[in-house]
Amino acid sequence: MINKNLENYLDINSISFKKDVSLSKISYFKTGGVVKLVVYPDSINSLKDIVNFARANNIKFEIFGKTTNCLFLDSFVANLFIFTKHINNIMIEDEKYLIAECGAYLPTVAKTVSMSGYTGFEGLVGIPGSIGASVLMNAGSYGNEVFDNLISVDILDNYGNIKTVYKKDIDFSFRNTQFKIDSSIVLSTKFSLVKGNLSSIKNKIKNVSVNRRDTQEHVLPNLGSLFATRDIYSDIAQVNVIYKVILYLIRKTYRFKKEINNKFLNKLTCKFFDIDFESQPFSDKTMNCIVNRGKGCEEVYKYILDLKSINPEMKLENEIIGILNAD
């Protein structure tokens, strides 16, 4: 009945939606159960209206951009998902500011401003998410973070009001912001633009792309970094002196060998910490990247728990959807 009302509301307001959608088809990692209703608003106002309608009618919902940070467990089913991908306008104002709506694709945003000769976004070109989620978690790479040039964010607060929040008033840190806990919905963002040297900008983008290709998984479905860390092996080494020595020796030996993966180190780490599996749930490139080899989520989830138990201080960056208190 509740969904019928919602469907009527969506029909009347010409907002597109799909019914009984399989997450294993639409999620980036290609796992998960069925969502009864998936909605694609195409403007900030319709996003606001749907959220307020759902809240007023006690309909549980979740917002997503590209799902590039979310592991949906196979058992997970949901009632209502709202996707922001059609709310994606990007605008350069007065050659000084960039305005990007929540569903804008970060690589498109980063390339657009970079190719217009503005610096500070080059490192972000390879992060395959939406601007909204990237602000939520202060996404970043290769020396650039989304918050570097951020001026303000328009959010939809828990009371259904749109508010502009300035960077100085936002609590943020490495891959984290207050928005993750206060349930604000990011609607639109404003950044300052700084002119740079176009050929240096292009060079940096080229280097970032080459480096990503060499060091990160790009064949199997994956979600980037599993834990919020620059070096998972060092984090593991913090809790075990013998492993620390082994890691030091391996890295010293391999420094001059240009390896394109960490196969040997991964094998050794798994043996050392007794991590077993039938189908390797992580990338050859790094243990800090889960991959989908088409065998379901169970082994992937067990692997995450195994790693976390080695050093409980490590913070999960990927979100596990379908269980309580994953971190």
Ligand X SMILES: Cc1cc2nc3c(=O)[nH]c(=O)nc-3n(C[C@H](O)[C@H](O)[C@H](O)COP(=O)(O)OP(=O)(O)OC[C@H]3O[C@@H](n4cnc5c(N)ncnc54)[C@H](O)[C@@H]3O)c2cc1C
For binding to ligand X (CB under 6 A), which residues are involved?
28, 62-70, 84, 102, 127-130, 132-134, 136-137, 139-141, 175, 185-186, 222-224, 319
DSSP 3-state percent helix, strand, coil across the chain (nearest 5): 35, 25, 40
CA dist 75 and 298 (Å) reads 10
Looking at beta carbons only, is 130 or 149 nearer to ligand X? 130
Looking at beta carbons only, is 243 or 320 nearer to ligand X? 320
Residue type, 297: C
CB of 252 to ligand X, least distance (A): 27
Looking at beta carbons only, is 137 or 297 nearer to ligand X? 137
CB of 170 to ligand X, least distance (A): 13
Q: Do residues 323 and 73 make contact, with C-beta atoms less than 8 angstroms apart?
A: yes
CA dist 58 and 35 (Å) reads 17
Q: Strand, helix or coil at 57?
A: coil
CB of 290 to ligand X, least distance (A): 10
Looking at beta carbons only, is 48 or 302 nearer to ligand X? 48
CB of 319 to ligand X, least distance (A): 5
Looking at beta carbons only, is 181 or 242 nearer to ligand X? 181
CB of 105 to ligand X, least distance (A): 8
Looking at beta carbons only, is 4 or 230 nearer to ligand X? 230
CB of 127 to ligand X, least distance (A): 4
Dihedral, CA of residue 177, residue 180, residue 185 and residue 188, to nearest 10: 30
CA dist 103 and 129 (Å) reads 9
Q: Do residues 280 and 200 make contact, with C-beta atoms less than 8 angstroms apart?
A: no
Q: What is the largest CA-CA distance in the chain?
A: 66
- Distance, CA of 79 to chain centre: 22
Looking at beta carbons only, is 120 or 132 nearer to ligand X? 132
Q: Strand, helix or coil at 120?
A: coil
Q: Do residues 11 and 51 make contact, with C-beta atoms less than 8 angstroms apart?
A: no
Polymer length in residues for the chain: 327
CB of 256 to ligand X, least distance (A): 27
Q: Do residues 105 and 56 make contact, with C-beta atoms less than 8 angstroms apart?
A: no
User: What are the φ/ψ torsions at residue 98 (nearest 5 degrees)?
Assistant: -115, 130
**Structure tokens of 231?**
């070096």
Looking at beta carbons only, is 32 or 129 nearer to ligand X? 129
CB of 316 to ligand X, least distance (A): 12
